[in-house]
Chain A
Amino acid sequence: MSTRGPWGHLSPRAEDEEIEAPDPEGRRLRTLAPYFRPYLWQTAVTIVLMLTVTAGSLAQPALAQYAIDHGIGDKDSSVLVWCVALFVGAGIVAAVAAGLQIYASTWLGQRVLFDLRNRLFRHIMDLELGYHEKVPTGRTVSRLTSDIEALNQLVTEGVTTLVLNGLTFLGVVVILFVYDAQLALMCFSVFPLLVIVTAWYRVGSSRAYRRTREKVAHVLAVLQETLSGMRVVQGFGRQDAARATFNEANVEYRQANMATIYLSSLYFPGIELLAAGGTLAVLWSGTNRVLDGDLTVGVMVAFIGYLSNFFDPIQQLSQLYSTVQSATAALEKINGVLKTGPRVADQPGAPPLPPVAGAIDLTGVTFEYVAGRPVIEDLSLHINAGETVALVGATGAGKSTLAKLIARFYDPQEGTVAIDGHDLRAVTVDSLRQQMAMVPQEGHLFAGTLADNLRFGRPDATDDQMLAALEAVDGGDLLAALPDGLASEVTERGSGLSAGQRQLVSFARALLADPRILILDEATSSVDVRTEQRIEQAMARLLAGRTSILIAHRLSTIRNADRIVVLDHGRIVEQGSHDQLIAAGGRYAALHGDWHSLVGEVDA
């Protein structure tokens, strides 16, 4: 086993456990067993290889002993030659088996974790939006990366160490008893002490390693934050203060880690001391018995040779303990995610949603993220097929939630959401989303080419179709700006697409998907008027001929909608066209008045 610290595999890992409650069951390593099931025969082969390695290594001292006693001692050359040949043979068998076993163990570990990682990823993709809004991206990603790596460490290296050393230990016990039960018992006399010392170490190190992991997480958090905020740190000349904060974290980590070192500095030499005690007992009793004539020298030499094989595994297994700890902590977190069921799931046997015209009906809908605090309360709304509805209201009024209920990112606690009379809960999510597109505020682009991003909602789109969609939203300006056209790489930062351009791409993406129902969360960041005009035109094209729900921020958008729905605290307080609402003199009219006076001022 290679030497690794309590954080041998380091990547930023937030040790927050407030989201997933501690779950003793989730820590159990046997929750990993189902992932091994598809690989039963490979697991069997790996175990057979491990047995072979152990047998080959254990056979060597026995063969050497036989060669010394009966070959060299009895001066029988042919016995010696045979023994050495077998000795070399055992070595070769052990080496070949070890080579295969390294590969097999890695194969098995990598496969099992590959499956787990993919299952976890699919699960994360399926988890409803609420989960992702609650849990920061970094933490979710660390489930997929550092936690899986911690398990990998256990499954490949750890299990190998465990099995090989466990087998060796058992093998040695058997061999020692076969050689001489009385000597074996002498040697095991230190065993009770060994158990006590190991139990002490386990308890102590468990606490110390946990603390070390926490402190490491803290060091990383401080480092990450300072690096991200370097502009501010330097801008205010606070390097010394930042260094002091970092230093504190660094010192705490060092102290916490030192505690683990104190523990192991007592434990590991202690085991060696106990081993020496066992050896002493064997030497004392063995020598006397050889002198009394009821033990051969060869047996005693072999016995002493095996003794190190008896104590080594115990040390190795104790060293494994911190790996096991990290792995169980990781497993608990992974199981925590896997256990979080997606709240929106297809009912068994749910049919797909047939092609719809796009009439939406919300009837008596109540929804709450947190029990007792409804975000949408007993809300009913009918939207005609092809109608454009603008949702307006203050932050927290429930605009986004309403849109998300229509897209079935959530299911309401009470009431129903139906499209063309089909209750959304009675149809499959996939079939719903195929007829619906949602354009979020920030046009999120995935790493890849412009084409990859455009055909995101419609993988079979041709180049011509993509170009037409781009043309429709921005008249080809964007293409002119990108040297490689559709094949241009558009990573989130690198490409230098502006916020406005990203938005246009996400419009084109939605246009290409050609949904019956469109939900658009308008960006709040202001762009210059030129881009804004483009966006307005693009939006008009995008909305044409489909049911559209706009979470609207701009007056122009709002004014052009067929209907404005003003939300407040989860209820509809006003609805109607712009002119109707202005005439009504309610909340909308008041907000509009505020705006009007300000515009009047600046344009004067």
Chain B
Amino acid sequence: MTDLWRLLAFLRPYRGLVIVTGLAASGIMVCTLILPYLTGRIIDDVLRHGERGELAPLLWAVFAVAVVRFGLGLVRRQISGHISLGVEYDMRDTVFSRVQRLSLAFFDHMPVGQLMSRATSDLQTVRFFLGYGLVFMFTTVFTLLMAAAWLITIDWQLAIFSLAVGPAVLAVATRFGQVANPLRIDLQQRLGEVSQAGEESVAGIRVIKAFGRERERSAAFERVANGAMNRGLDVARVEGVYEPVMGFLPTAGLAVILMLGGHQVMNGTLTLGQFVQFYLYLTLLMGPFRSLGFLVAGGQRALAGGRRIFEILDAETEVPEPAHPVPLPDGDGRVTFDHVHFAYGTGDAADPFGREVLQGVDLDIPGGRVVALIGATGSGKSTLTELIARYYDPTGGRVLLDGVDIRDLALDDLRRAVGMVSQEPFLFSTTVRENIAYGRPDATLDQVRAAARLAAADEFVEALPNGYDTVIGERGLTLSGGQRQRLAIARAVITDPRVLILDEATASVDASTERQIQDALRAVMAGRTTVIIAHRLSTIQLADEIVVLDRGVIAARGTHDELYGTSPLYREIHRTGLARPELVLGDS
């Protein structure tokens, strides 16, 4: 019930319009009911009593009512459309801005595909219900009540018999929803599986072809498609039972009226004219009676869709903005980890925290220092850097930037001060220039170029078909991993962050490119605190200090010479855990 109220709250900005459509829709219903009344008058007064003179005024009245109904119909449709699209727009915007404020932890549990389907198909069901269904439901009930009142004035006994159909339809519709909706949800799930099966095979087409397994994959796909088909048939079976019943109930009502009313006319307790009028009204009510069922089902579905949307809106961000942010003091970018613990939430209520990834890290990085983080996969290197940009908050201890707990800084201030380059950088499908200037949209072309030059990207960008205006990404040119990372470095340095975090790409590049990247790194790191997750031996050489992480704790730190002498773990990693340059002939 509260969910229903929450859904209705989305109509609040359109209160006035909802009332107008409600009135218009009621007006249309009244017109639709007046028309048979007028027809009845024509039959009764003109035909039975031969008052030919009354025909013309009655026909004019019919005409007038029809014109009014046209006008009201036009207004109702436009306003309903406006409301429905408005609600859709508002909800989507709300969901979008909400999602944007959520921490990355949220995205660890909610795949993009899920979010997309909530922001689209769930939103659609809600919008149709709020925009049309609700008003329609209201007018349907209103019509039924009005008609009921009218019918009772003609003959209350007949009226009660005929109106008993309403509750019967409602009962069947409710049951229908209970039976069909779980099946429909499962059908959606299975259609999702079909999509997944298709996607997997298309993405893996090389392997499939290489082993000549096209037939087997097709057979596997058919099995999944078959599952969806059978579920679709299950839904049809349920619909095939309930929908005709909902359709037949009003017919049965009509039959009762024909029988009972017919006898009353024969007994003389009802005039033929009255009966015809009664009968015509009932035929008019057939539509509303039948749609009652569909409206109930639609409402149930909208409610389910609404709940799925509320799940997003209710998600708490795990990195909340401080209530009273402290301004970032001037500083040279000192980063301090003070007994930091971290565990990823597993999303499992019984086990809210998974394995501890960081188990008490104390690390002070003076401003301007270049630190290389090394350690085996899973030792906590990436997590440590993600805490600096506050993609996550530590589960224990604190992280300081220039002496301030980063949880006390405004997120925007913090993230402006911290530049990040991830291993597989995400670039937007727009021009190279816009990608580089992403964090500083007002940058001039010269500034963009300077950043690119610093990141050793200028040369290959100039060689692209449209230089800096070349569109890249999904709808444009595909760049190699090395090129993408250099663009990401340019994007990070153009904002001139105090702290630069770099997760080195593992893709091999040829020797001359590797040298270029090393030169670029040396340039961008100058005068900046830099934390670099190093995978290459050559990168280690650029660092002022090396920090060795082992299972969530700092195992050793120092310069290469110090560590080589004192840390067996460092010696081991140095010997076998870091990549030497490859003789790569290709990707550049």
Contact = CB atoms under 8 A, between A and B. Distances in A.
Nearest to B194: A145
Please indicate which of the listed interface residues A67, A234, A533 has the most CB atoms of chain B within 10 Å of its own CB. Answer: A234
B212 A429 contact: yes
A234 B73 contact: no
Nearest to B267: A75
A100 B537 CA distance: 72
Please indicate which of the listed interface residues B74, B75, B237, B272 has the most CB atoms of chain A within 10 Å of its own CB. Answer: B74
A206 interface: no
Contacts of A193: none
A226 to B, nearest CB: 8
B579 to A, nearest CB: 4
B428 A118 contact: no
B154 interface: no
Interface residues of A, number: 166
Contacts of A37: none
B429 to A, nearest CB: 6
Nearest to B410: A237
B47 interface: yes
Contacts of A96: 244
Interface in A392-413: 392-395, 399, 407, 409
Interface string A471-501: 0000000000000000000001000001100
Given A440-B207, A602-B581, A227 B438 contact: no
B411 interface: yes
A266 interface: yes
Given A231-B104, A265-B73, A72 B537 contact: no
Please indicate which of the listed interface residues B74, B235, B258, B535 has the most CB atoms of chain A within 10 Å of its own CB. Answer: B258
Contact of B420 (A9, A235, A409): A235
Q: Range of interface residues on chain B?
A: 35 or more
B195 A237 contact: no
A72 B120 CA distance: 55
A430 B508 contact: no
B567 to A, nearest CB: 17
Nearest to A276: B66
A141 B378 CA distance: 34
Contact of B93 (A250, A257, A284): A250
A237 B412 contact: yes
Contacts of A407: 209-210
A9 B538 CA distance: 53
Interface stretch (A21-29, A123-131, A169-177, A416-424): A123-131
Nearest to B75: A265
Nearest to B473: A225
Given A64-B254, A110-B233, A247-B93, A234 B200 contact: no
A592 B584 CA distance: 9
Contacts of A555: 582-583
B198 A394 contact: no
B258 A84 contact: yes
B107 A305 contact: no
Nearest to A16: B475
B63 A276 contact: yes
Contact of A125 (B117, B205, B541): B205
A7 B117 contact: no
A569 to B, nearest CB: 14
B515 interface: yes
Interface in B207-265: 207-214, 216-218, 221-222, 225-226, 229, 232-233, 235-237, 239-241, 243-245, 247-248, 251-252, 254-255, 258-259, 261-263, 265
B73 A137 contact: no
B349 interface: no
Given A91-B255, A103-B237, A231 B96 contact: no
A107 interface: yes
A392 B582 CA distance: 13
A68 interface: yes
Contact of A530 (B119, B495, B510, B577): B577
Please indicate which of the listed interface residues B47, B50, B71 has the most CB atoms of chain A within 10 Å of its own CB. Answer: B47
A106 B232 contact: yes
Contacts of A226: 96, 100
B46 interface: yes
A98 B247 contact: yes
Interface stretch (A327-335, A362-370, A519-527, A538-546): A519-527
Contacts of A80: 258-259, 262-263, 266
B210 A438 contact: yes
A136 B100 contact: no
Given A77-B266, A234-B415, A440-B210, A225 B429 contact: yes
A451 interface: no
Nearest to B275: A72
Interface string A325-360: 000000000000000000000000000000000000
Interface string A111-130: 10010011001101110010
A129 B205 CA distance: 8
A343 to B, nearest CB: 13
Interface in A518-565: 519, 524-530, 533, 553-555, 558
Interface stretch (A38-46, A178-186, A593-601): A593-601
Contacts of A19: none
B314 interface: no
A229 interface: yes
B134 interface: no
Nearest to A521: B206
Contacts of B508: 524-526, 553-554
B268 to A, nearest CB: 10
A524 B240 contact: no
Nearest to B276: A301
Given A103-B233, A243-B96, A269 B115 contact: no
Please indicate which of the listed interface residues A141, A241, A392, A519 has the most CB atoms of chain B within 10 Å of its own CB. Answer: A141
A279 B218 contact: no
Contacts of A242: 100
B426 A232 contact: yes
Contact of A554 (B63, B101, B261, B583): B583
Interface stretch (B9-17, B82-90, B139-147, B523-531): B82-90
Interface in A437-465: 437-440, 444, 446-447, 456-457, 459
Contacts of A436: 210
Given A71-B262, A132-B205, A99 B117 contact: no
A84 B514 contact: no
Contact of B254 (A87, A243, A598, A602): A87
Contact of A529 (B198, B259, B510, B579): B579
A509 to B, nearest CB: 8
A384 to B, nearest CB: 22
Contacts of A198: none
B201 interface: yes
B245 A269 contact: no
A231 B422 contact: yes
Interface in B83-132: 85-86, 88-89, 92-93, 96-97, 99-101, 104, 107, 112, 115-117, 119-121, 124, 128, 132
Contacts of B210: 407, 433, 436-440, 519
B510 A591 contact: yes
Contacts of A456: 207, 211, 213
Given A237-B412, A595-B511, A258 B439 contact: no
Contacts of A60: 251, 254
14 contacts: A80-B259, A92-B248, A106-B235, A219-B92, A226-B96, A231-B104, A236-B438, A258-B82, A265-B81, A268-B77, A457-B213, A506-B207, A553-B582, A555-B583
10 shortest interchain CB distances as A-B pairs: A269-B73, A261-B81, A433-B212, A438-B210, A276-B66, A106-B236, A265-B77, A555-B583, A236-B439, A91-B251
Given A64-B279, A261-B78, 20 more contacts: A3-B132, A11-B116, A61-B283, A72-B265, A98-B247, A102-B236, A223-B120, A230-B99, A237-B411, A241-B441, A261-B77, A265-B74, A284-B59, A287-B47, A297-B43, A395-B586, A444-B206, A526-B579, A528-B578, A602-B581
